[in-house]
Amino acid sequence: MIAQVSGRLVLKTPNLIVVDVHGVGYEIHIPLSSFYPLPDSGGDVSLRTYTHVREDALSLFGFLTEREKTVFKRLIGISGIGPRLGITILSGLPLDDFVSAVQKGDLFKLTTIPGVGKKTAERIILELKDKMADLAQTEAPAETAAATIQHDVVSALMNLGYLRANADKAVKAVRDAGAPQSFEAILKGALRRLSGERGAH
């Protein structure tokens, strides 16, 4: 089982990347939520991975955060949902929105995801509704939720090759500037700041 891949990004598309690890290129399927924060080709990257083995193939699926990987593994544990559809589902809604929709039994929101019909949405709700409490940031006190988001963003930035001290500084600056307190907004803001600092040297 390949649990993590770290190396140089040599190919980057919205649903598939190739990472060079000491001369070996690993083809990894990713959701859009992991695609947007990735560096340009040639940059260093580290992803948590899930290895899917079939008789005729071995496929890798990658994620920037452990939370994404946990949701993915729970999704593919549902009958009728394979790894490709699991990636599509994670790409179809922001992670917080997906977790919230499952907890609330929101069929309409889930069926807006490409490839997810009413029966699949019903199955997701039935199987996962009671298994999302540990992943629902909105259920935690505001301070705890904010701390969790900050930790996840810093972790994602470190996976992209930034030093912890620089990542912490950038995240704090974005939060102090009054950015929306969501993972995506803080991550994008921190990346803008860090890219600017790199460009200034």
φ, ψ (nearest 5 deg) of residue 108: -60, -45
49/74 same-domain check: no
Per-residue pLDDT of 129-155, as tens digits, reads 988 888 875 444 455 567 677 778 888
Number of structural domains found in the chain: 3
186/150 same-domain check: yes
49/71 same-domain check: no
Q: Within a 13 Å sphere around the CA of 142, how many CA atoms are in the beta-carbon half? A: 1
Distance CA 49, CA 54 (A): 16
99/146 same-domain check: no
44/80 same-domain check: no
Domain holding 144, by residue range, is 140-200
Per-residue pLDDT of 170-198, as tens digits, reads 888 888 887 677 888 888 888 988 887 65
**At a CB cut-off of 8 Å and minimum separation 6, what does 189 contact?**
170, 174, 177, 179
User: What CATH number should be reported for the domain holding residue 146?
Assistant: 1.10.8
Q: What is the mean pLDDT of residues 44-55?
A: 91
For residues 95 and 84, the answer to whether their CB atoms sit within 8 Å is: no
CA dihedral 162, 67, 77, 131 (to 10 degrees): 170
User: What CATH number should be reported for the domain holding residue 50?
Assistant: 2.40.50.140
Distance CA 189, CA 181 (A): 11
Which residue reads 């949902």 in tokens? Answer: 81
| For residue 52, pLDDT beyond 50 | yes
93/126 same-domain check: yes
pLDDT of residue 151: 78
